[in-house]
Amino acid sequence: MNASHLTLLTDLYELTMMQGYFKNQNRERVIFDVFFRTNPDGAAFSVTAGLEQVIEYVKDLHFSSEDIDYLRSTGFFHEDFLDYLKDFHFTGDIYAIPEGTVVFPQEPLLKVVAPIIEAQLVETAILNIINHQSLICTKAARVVYAAGGGVMEFGLRRAQGPDAGTYGARAAVIGGCVGTSNVLAGQLFDIPVKGTHAHSWIMSFHNEIDAFRNYAELYPDACLLLVDTYDTLKSGIPHAIQVFDELKAKGIHPKMYGIRLDSGDLAYLSKKARKMLDDAGYTDAVISASSDLDEYLIESLRSQGAQITSWGVGTNLITSKNCPAFGGVYKLAAVEKSDGTFEPKIKVSENIGKVTNPGDKTVFRLYDKTTGKIRADLIALADETYDPSKPLMIFDPISTWKKTFLKPDTYTVRELLVPVFKNGECVYTSPAVMDIRDYCARELATLWDESRRFVNPQVVYVDLSKPLWDLKNKLLDAVHNHKD
């Protein structure tokens, strides 16, 4: 997880292509776009995350002597190319949509403008970082929405390795989790760490009540007792209430206290627990629940009237179990000509979803001026501008007869891509994770409720500007005519 060790976090073919560019004296600048084609979990939106780690990677991009020695040992690389790598660093530009932003398929999340030999190298690491954190951040946003808040991430032990557990925790907090059980993530990213105790704590004592008493003595202001080790209703909850009574008798009223349920029928048990706690006078006691939760189960539990106020979500969140990959790609969009302008490039496919959008692009978000909700996103050429005091017609780039007319002064416009690197120098300051979390919450609030539901959500329109649509079709016609 040390950025200085990530230069070789790449696919071999990136390096073999780099050597090919080097041998052919290919130093022309190019534009690559990072985008994804479908939202995970059948959702209508995603949330981008991981930009801070991309910045750390690019800032420290260099080949150590150990790296070069290893590359020499593979037998793939010539000495003149290895000599070139000794002084290698990134000199290009990067633009990106800030972390925590709601995003949609096909639009560039990140744009690299650099000599092709540099732009090629960074592909794999950028995708690795953005894909993973965007996936977990999006999953967390869905889980938190289902729960109505109060979600703690605690999936480290089930994550696919230390990096996935630690950076996944970061992404989960950006997506709305109130904290994580991962202490290393807490240290690295200054995010809240939370937790209670395990069944083994209870089992290590001669009886349950002594285990509760000892825990309450250690942590009187964070006294959340796990009540399902033996018998939740007949033993666990009554013993928890007894300990709360003893604290009260000592004049101690914890800042946060309650019980945790980790098994059984969570809807039934939480309702029974709520009544027992309320009858004992502990109406402000927390009822926390865990046990293989995800957004679908949480939504179901809430619809059954479950009295759960805090949710611990582990495996299904940290692994995004239903959809284990984000699917972001890195595609060439333009190549610089001798006059300094960029020639647009397009990838053609029998699969319509794999036909790329050519040229130097940006993304505009169109909001309803009255509600602040997203009307549509517009992928446009980088030199385009839009004036909300003027009317705007947007259309579906595939089903072009589907059009929306935006009247003057009824919408607002925001450009999403911002400069991150200019001429190899970082010009962007990443906010603190908890600030990104607050920003993400505001972003999610710009979605219509219909686009946040879990079954058959309303798709958010992502259209092409008329100039970009014309350019794309011109290039497609040229490909067709060339085949003829």
Reply yes or no on whether the pLDDT at 351 is more than 90.
no
Q: Are 158 and 171 in contact (CB under 8 A)?
A: no
3-class DSSP state for residue 406?
strand
Q: Residue 433 is encoded by which pair of tokens?
A: 């994770």
Reply yes or no on whether the pLDDT at 453 is more than 60.
yes
- Estimate to the nearest angstrom the gap between the alpha carbon of 90 and the chain centroid: 25
Q: Are 112 and 31 in contact (CB under 8 A)?
A: yes
Specify the CATH number of the domain 3-136+324-483: 3.20.140.10
Reply yes or no on whether the pLDDT at 421 is more than 80.
yes
**Residue 27: pLDDT band with limits 50, 70, 90:** confident
pLDDT single digits (tens) 288-339: 999 899 999 999 999 999 999 999 999 999 999 999 999 999 999 999 999 9
**Residue 161: pLDDT band with limits 50, 70, 90:** very high
Q: What is the pTM of this model?
A: 0.96
Return the domain boundaries, the chain: 3-136+324-483
Q: Are 307 and 271 in contact (CB under 8 A)?
A: yes
- Estimate to the nearest angstrom the gap between the alpha carbon of 391 and the chain centroid: 34
At 146, the amino acid letter reads A
Beta-bridge partner residues of 419 = 95
Which of 76-85, 102-111, 250-259, 416-425 has the least mean pLDDT? 250-259
> In this structure, how many other beta carbons lie within 10 angstroms of the beta carbon of residue 353?
10
